[in-house]
Structure 1
């Protein structure tokens, strides 16, 4: 995988092959960040990366100047790799080894942007729970955005604060925001690409 933009644009990162991950593809990541770039100034953006895996998304935010970044994953190998990579690039990333649901129950800090990439095999109720916990526990700033990566078999558009969805290949990204008048994302709702 490679960093697409920012200070470390073009740098390749090679995680160990034995990590239990399914990294977001470079194509999907580039499309995702093009959307985010239209709505945020990355510099100083507070980011929470859930089910962080290799840290792929965290590094992309960090390369663009986002900080602080908290990366949460339940696998020790993933957390060790994120810690090692953050140190190598001098990224402001704090890796936390934790079950994501336990983390969301206890965590009190709010963020400008939250990204979650749960295992595609997670059941529908668990995907729904992630969204509900984040909004109920006040983890997203009022003008912030949350994105969940999922498969076509896990619809999320029935949930409160759903804004719009995009699809790239087999990956779907559902965007969530607090409702507000004059929301500049309204035009993008239901603008998913067909597979």
Structure 2
């Protein structure tokens, strides 16, 4: 696992092998950031990284000068690894929170420019993520929600769904607030 862009480009991350994670592959991450690079200015973004795991995506956003990155995960060991790694590399914009992601979303009131969610593929509540994010108004006006999920899963039923990009067994579904006409 490595950082593919920004000030920490090329940095290898070596999380403990006992973390309960399935990190986004470098290939999928590179494809995602190529898409994002052409759509949004990553500097000064306020990012929410849900089910952060190793912090792989959060570190990538921080390396690309995101203003703030809040990494949320229920695993103490994941949060400790992300906190320690952020401190080690001077990524002061990364904050961590140990919490159940769904409980966190139900209580959160802040708005974010970009929300990235990479839930365990075997949980049944993945479609609820977009519903909660939009019901709770957690995205800024031009905000973007990206949910990583199994390619065979279809999240296109949500009214804010924009597109799905497939990378092998993993897909990214993109959601945006619908702009009033």
Same fold (TM over 0.5): yes
Residues 80-106 of structure 1: per-residue CA shift (max 9 Å, x gap)? 000001101111111100000110011
TM-score, L = length of structure 1: 0.90
1:7 aligned counterpart, secondary structure = helix
4+ residue segments displaced more than 4 Å: none
CA RMSD of aligned residues (A): 1.1
Q: Given the alignment of the two structures, is residue 60 of structure 1 paired with residue 60 of structure 2, yes or no? A: yes
Structure 2, unaligned stretches of length 5 or more?
none
1:69 aligned counterpart, secondary structure = strand
1:49 aligned counterpart, secondary structure = strand
Residue of structure 1 in register with 2:156 after alignment: 157
CA separation in 1, counterparts of 2:77 and 2:42? 28
Residues 38-77 of structure 1: per-residue CA shift (max 9 Å, x gap)? 1111111000000000000000000000021100000000
Structure 1, unaligned stretches of length 5 or more?
183-195
- Are 2:15 and 2:81, in contact at CA under 8 Å, matched by a contact in 1? yes
Residue of structure 1 in register with 2:129 after alignment: 130
Residue of structure 2 in register with 1:28 after alignment: 28
Residue of structure 2 in register with 1:47 after alignment: 47
Shift of 1:181: 7.1
CA separation in 2, counterparts of 1:128 and 1:150? 10
